[in-house]
Each structure stands twice: as structure tokens, then as C-alpha cells.
Amino acid sequence: MPFVLSLSKDITHISKSFDKPGPNEFERGFSRASFATEQESYAMCGIVGLYLKNKALEPQLGALFEPMLLSMTERGPDSAGFAIYGDEVPEDKIKLTLQAQDESFDWASLVDKLEKKLGQPINWFRNATAAVLKTKAPEAEARAAIAEFAPEVHVMSAGRSIEILKGIGLPTEVTERFTLGKMKGSHIIGHTRMATESAVTMAGSHPFSTGADLCLVHNGSLSNHFLLRQELRRKGIVFETDNDSEVAAGYLAWRLKQGGSLAEALDGALQDLDGFFTFAVGTRDGFAVIRDPIACKPAVLAETGDYVAMASEYRAFATLPGIENAKVWEPEPATLYVWERH
Amino acid sequence: MFQSTPVTGRQDTEGLTPLPCPILPLKGEVSNRSQFLMKTIDLSAASVRDLNQALHDQAKQITEHAWTITHPDGKHNIAAGVDEALKIDIYGHAGYYCAGMNKKADVIIHGNAGVGVAENMMSGSVRVKGSASQSAGATAHGGLLVIEGDAGARCGISMKGIDIVVRGNAGHMSCFLGQAGRLVICGDVGDNLGDSLYEVHIYVKGRVKSLGSDCIEKEMRPEHLLELTELLERAGVKENPEAFRRYGSARQLYNFKVDNAHAY
């Protein structure tokens, strides 16, 4: 069943299920913009994603993905991060990923206070500077309690499946810190950052959470992020940084809160975000890829019977099993690609 | 690290999408043309820098005419700056700027090519068996680039004399600022074809999404049919030249127009 329902009529969309590849996957998606001149940017960053179609590979998700992320080190040596999906909690529970600046942060005592305040037991584990909490307490109450007891702690992600882990340093430092290589899951997207628009901080690293089980990684730069941030703040979206990509994430979060589908939100992004971008969006069931109409930021897709992979460059695929027989192609400009499990 | 294997003829090579290809007549000094050395370089073991140095060294004295490169794995700058009539086969997908600045060499990529394949090529040929990313053949002065799949955006941007033949489609802004040479596209083309064009002859068989500033359709005269026929033949592409349309510059943006003086 197609995930994408409606888009502006001049936007081509390509929707695929894992079972039945769409007939139009090579359909041309021409850009909507008419441009007399265009800018070329040297802003880098690397983005990578891997979705496993073959469940037998799920225990190896981290091991398969780590070299993909590391291969993009040259494109983004400042900081790195990833959003991994797996270890899903039941419908009546929520999973929060928290991060502290300090490795010695006393998570046990925070969890203790939260349990008392929320009146719900919390299952939790620590991973380096991060902790993953699972509870039946409502998300808003949990967030409020965390802000009360530990204002210095960031809520990186919330949902039933997603865990966002990120930090500053070379990608290899970040993946080692969180032992990415041993992680299991169904899909994962990641980012290596070369900062151009704002400071190199943990909060400025990607992925950015855009809602429950949703996240965004961005390669490119936005020129109207300042104004857009002001507008979105007025609409109640909270921003932590001066980062342009966070504005894109906030924009999608706002669109989705309005009740739009992910496809509608991304279609809106094509019209309202000024700048250039390749986005990869992680969802509970899969991921989506979209490039701006000028498409000067690179993106490559690869698909086999076992997985779908996306990356800024083909280099990131070189270590994937069976890549020599994969279908490899570049996503078209202003065209939405969605993969999800049905 | 480098293996030198004396072979007669071309050997099938292990690696990605091996395709048999005919031996082209060798140029240069070869005492015995029926037997020659073929060097195989495995980029999972050797660095691109070592490979390119070995290729550049051939400009001083040719010791190996045929080169096979395996496991390119999307690495950048493979076989860039070659300056001798070598025959280079790359088995797999190449990264950015493959065969950039090529002089005289015939390079075949048995896979896809990343951004800027054959950019600034001077002479020789580059054939991409798969598809090419954006800016293929950018600013190139000469030689022949054949893309058997699709070309991405900005194919032939600022081309200065290269001939490019794309068997599939090409993306938007293709031939932007194209100055000289020929661009043939057998499939469809995206927006703004030939924007700010100078003197490139553009031939398209499929649909043109839109023409850029100062690019217009032009009459296909006998000399153009002849030119296109020769070019398709040289590229080894079987297409009916009469099915193509020709596009070129309206030559309205060449010089400063005195009518615009009031803007200053």
C-alpha cells in the first residue's frame, strides 16, 4: 500500500513497499523551480541510511551500518549521530532517549525521582552519556519531570522504537562511545557533520527529532532559517540551537502536528524551505529521502533483496553484502522516495 | 600490492559487472602487439594515489598499455590526470572526478560514475557502462564521453569542446554555459537545457522539459545529420539520427548590449 497519498501535482513521488517495487521507480521527477542561475555550495556533511528487509540481518544492523557512517568521515569530521529503530515497546509504553554532557551523570538517582513523580515503573539502561528509559507514563509528563529534575539533560528522542545517539568528535569516536557495532534493529539513519551554519555542539549534531519515532538528517544549508525559526517559535515550536537543520526538523514537526502526513510535510518543505538540501527522514516503519529541486547535494540509493540503503556517496555502500549486484541509482530532484514495512 | 600479469588478449576480471570488451588498437611503441602486459590494480589493497602515480609515470615511458582496476568502491579521483594512450578498465562503481583531466587514454567504467566524471577531459575517451552523477564532462576541452545509462544534472556544464553521448536521460541544467563541442542525448532532458549557451551543438531525441535562456531549437541541416551520424557511430550507439532535434544558441547573450546601458 502506498505511503504517499497527496503531493503537489508538479512533484513526482515515488512510493515503494518492500514487497512490490513500484513500477515507476525510474520515473523522471523534474524540478519545479525555474532558475536562471544556481549556486554551488561546498558545504559537506554525509548522510547514510540502512533499512533491512531481511529480518535475519537485524542482529547485524549496527555492524553493517558502522562502516557506512565511518566512510563519510571526510564529509563530516565535526560530529556524528544516528537514529536506530528497534527494541520496540508495546503500544501503551514510551521509550525516551536522554543524553547528559557528563559520562558520570547519576542516571539511577534521576530515574528514582522520575518513578516517584510519575508513579510508574521505568525500565532503563545506560549507554555512555545516554540513557534509554521505557515507561507507561505519558510523554508530556515524563518530559516535564525530566526538565524539573535534570534541566541539563536533553531528550534526544521519544517514541516506541527510535533511539537517537549523537555527539561531537570524529564519527569513529561517536560510534565507539555508543558501541554502534553491536546494536540490533530494523533500520537506522545517520549523519556526519561539517558545520557551516552554527556551532559544533551535541545539540547541533544530527539526527534531530521531529516527533514520535520521527527524525531528520540534513545535508545542505538553508538560507531562510532565521525567519522561519521566528515564525515557528510563534507557533509554539521550541528550538535549542541556531542550527538551520533544527529549523527544518521543527518545520516538519509543526506540519505533522497540524495533522499533515509525512508526505505533505515534506512537500511543504519543498516550498517553504529556501536553500539546498538532501533530507533523510526516519519513521517507525521505514525511511524517506527527498532532495530539493536544484539537487546539488548528493544522494545515492541502493537496493537488494535484503536491504535498502541511502548515502551521500556510493563509497558508503562498498562494505554492504551483495552490493555488487544491487540496484544503484540517484534519487531525482524534488521527488519523494518512501520505503516502509507493510 | 601491484600485480603484473602477462596475458594474451583481455582477461575476464573478477570484480563488479565484468564485461568483455574488445581490444582497441594500441598506440605508441609496442614491439609485439599480440602479447602485452596488463596490469591489474586492486584498490582494496592499493591507494588511489599509488594508482594514479603509476598511471602518470606512463607518460615518461610506456611499460603497460592495458590497466585493469578492481574494487573501485566509489573512491574519488580514480585515473585522474592520465597523460598517455593507455587502455583502462575500471570494474565497479567509481566515485567523484573519475578520469578527470584525461589525455589520450581510453577509460571504461564498468559500473556507475560519481560527480564530475571526465571533468576537464582534453582528449581520449571515457565510457560509463552504467549511469553518471551530476556534472559529467564538466568544462572538458576534448575527447569523447559516452554514458550508456542516465546522466544526472548539469551534464556537460561549461563544456569547451568535448563530445558527450548519453544513451539514457540527462538531468536539469545540462550544457549550462556550454561553449564548444557536441552533446547528444538519446532520452529525455530536464529543465533549462543549454542555459546561457555559446556554441555547443545539442541533439536530443526525447522530450526537453524546458530550454534555458538563449537556447533555441534549430533546423537540422544535412551537415548536422552527418555530424550526428558520425558521432553516434563513434560512440557505438545505435539510434536513427533523423529522430533527433537540434538545439543551439540564439546568440543574444554573447556581448554587452548598448540597450542595457541605462542599467548602470
Q: What is the pLDDT of residues A241-275, one digit of tens each?
A: 889 999 999 999 999 989 888 889 999 999 999 99
Q: What is the mean pLDDT of residues B243-263?
A: 88
Is ipTM over 0.90? no
* Mean pLDDT value of segment B98-112: 97
Q: What are phi and psi of B119, to 5 degrees?
A: -65, 140
Q: What is the pLDDT of residue A102?
A: 86
Is A36–B190 a contact, with Cβ atoms under 8 angstroms apart? no
Kindly report the CATH class assigned to A13-87+170-340: alpha beta
Q: Are B138 and B155 in contact (CB under 8 A)?
A: no
Q: Using an 8 Å CB-CB cutoff, list chain A residues near B153.
A: 294-296, 333
Q: What is the largest CA-CA distance in chain A?
A: 62
* Substitution target from B13, B90, B93, B175 for chain A, most A beta carbons within 10 A: B93
How large is the average pLDDT for residues A74-83? 95
Looking at the complex, does the CB of residue B16 fall below 8 Å from at least one CB of chain A? yes
Q: Identify the band that residue A37 occupies on the pLDDT scale cut at 50, 70 and 90.
A: very low
* pLDDT at site A108: 97
Among A338, A313, A337, A334, residue whose Cα is nearest residue A47: A313
Q: Give dist(CA A336, CA A289) in Å, integer.
A: 6
Residue of B109, B168, B115, B110 whose CA lies nearest to B137: B115
- Cα separation, A243 vs A252, whole angstroms: 15
Question: Which residue of A303, A313, A317 is the best one to mutate when testing the B interface, meaning the one whose CB has the most B CBs within 10 A?
Answer: A313
CA of A69: how far to CAs of A159, A317, A329, B232, in Å?
Answer: 23, 10, 19, 42
From CA A287, how far away is CA A341, in angstroms rounded? 10
Return the bridge partners of B147, or none.
B128, B166
Contacting B with CB below 8 Å, chain A residues are 28, 30-31, 33-36, 38, 294-296, 298, 300, 313-318, 324, 328-330, 332-333
Whether the predicted pLDDT of A44 surpasses 90: no
A296 part of the active site: no
Q: What is the pLDDT of residue B263?
A: 81
Mean pLDDT (whole number) for A140-166: 96
Rounded to a whole number of angstroms, the distance from the CA of A310 to the nearest CA of chain B is 14
Chain A residue with minimum CA distance to B196? A36
Residue A36 to residue B195, Cβ atoms within 8 A = yes
Q: Mind telling me how many Å the CA of B60 is from chain A's nearest CA? A: 32
Chain B segment 203-242 residues within 8 A of A by beta carbon are 209-210, 212-213
b/e map B57-74, b = 16+ CB within 10 Å: ebeeebebbbbbbbbbbb
pLDDT reported for residue A342: 66
Of B112, B172, B213, the CB nearest to A30: B172
CATH of domain A89-160: 3.30.70.420
pLDDT number for residue A203: 86
Confidence check: pLDDT of A19 > 60: no
pLDDT at A60 over 90: yes
Please compute the mean of the pLDDT values over residues A163-187 and round it to a whole number.
Answer: 96
Rounded to the nearest integer, the mean pLDDT of chain A is 86
pLDDT over 70 (residue B262): yes
Mean pLDDT of B137-157: 97
In this prediction, residues B29-39 reach a mean pLDDT of 50
Q: What are phi and psi of B235, to 5 degrees?
A: -80, -10
Q: How many beta-carbon pairs under 8 angstroms link A with B?
A: 69
| Per-residue confidence (pLDDT) for residue B41, from 0 to 100 | 95
Q: Going along chain A, which residue ranges are E strands?
A: 13-17, 46-52, 79-85, 94-99, 122-127, 130-135, 154-159, 162-168, 187-193, 208-211, 214-222, 275-283, 286-291, 300-303, 307-311, 327-329, 336-340
At residue B64, the pLDDT reads: 92
Q: Provide the shortest C-alpha distance from residue A110 to chain B (in Å).
A: 47
Mean pLDDT of B189-198: 96
Q: Could you tell me which of B246, B237, B132 has the C-alpha nearest to residue B199?
A: B246
Distance in Å, alpha carbon of A50 to nearest chain B alpha carbon: 18
Please answer whether residues B225 and B218 qualify as being in contact, where contact means their C-beta atoms are separated by less than 8 angstroms. Answer: no
The chain B residue lying nearest A319, using CA atoms, is B73
Catalytic residue selected from A45, A111, A156, A334:
A45
Question: Is it true that the peptide bond before A207 is cis, omega within 30 degrees of 0?
Answer: yes
Indicate whether A64 pLDDT > 60.
yes
From CA B5, how far away is CA B47, in angstroms rounded? 19
| Residue B120 near residue B138 (C-beta atoms within 8 A) | yes
* For residues A16-35, average pLDDT: 33
When scoring B71, B76, B91, B173 by the number of chain A Cβ atoms within 10 A, the one with the most, hence best to mutate, is B173
Give pLDDT tens digits for A212-248: 999 999 999 999 999 999 999 999 998 988 899 999 9
pLDDT at A2 over 80: no
CA atoms of A290 and A285, how far apart (whole Å): 17
Mean per-residue pLDDT for B103-125? Answer: 97
Contact A333 B172 (CB under 8 A): yes
CB A197 within 8 A of CB A107: no
CA distance A179 to A62: 8
Of the candidates B71, B134, B192, which has its C-beta nearest A35's C-beta? B192
Q: What pLDDT is recorded for position A260?
A: 84
Q: What is the pLDDT of residues B44-91, one digit of tens each?
A: 999 999 999 999 999 999 999 999 999 999 999 999 999 999 999 999
Which candidate in A42, A44, A75, A315 is best for mutational testing of the B interface (most B CBs within 10 A)? A315
Taking contacts as CB-CB distances below 8 angstroms, the residues of chain B near A329 are 131
B223 vs chain A: nearest CA distance in angstroms?
31
Residue A43 pLDDT greater than 90, yes or no? no
Q: Do A30 and B190 touch (CB under 8 A)?
A: yes
The residue ranges of every structural domain in chain A are 13-87+170-340, 89-160
Distance from CA of A336 to the nearest CA of B (A): 17
* pLDDT score for A196: 80
Of the pLDDT bands very low, low, confident and very high (cuts 50, 70, 90), residue B3 is: very low
Distance from CA of B61 to the nearest CA of A (A): 33
- pLDDT of A261 reads 86
B192–A318: do the CB atoms touch at under 8 Å? no
CB contact, 8 Å: B191 with chain A? yes
**Which among A314, A332, A333 has CB closest to B112?**
A314
Q: How does residue A198 score in pLDDT terms, banded at 50, 70 and 90?
A: confident
Considering only CB atoms, B75 lies closest to which of A28, A315, A329, namely: A315
**Which pLDDT value is given to residue B264?**
80
Q: By percentage, how much of chain B surpasses pLDDT 70?
A: 86
| Cβ–Cβ below 8 Å for B74 and A31 | no
Q: How much is the pLDDT for A301?
A: 96
Kindly tell me if the per-residue pLDDT of B34 is higher than 60.
no
Is the model's pLDDT at A282 over the cut of 60?
Answer: yes
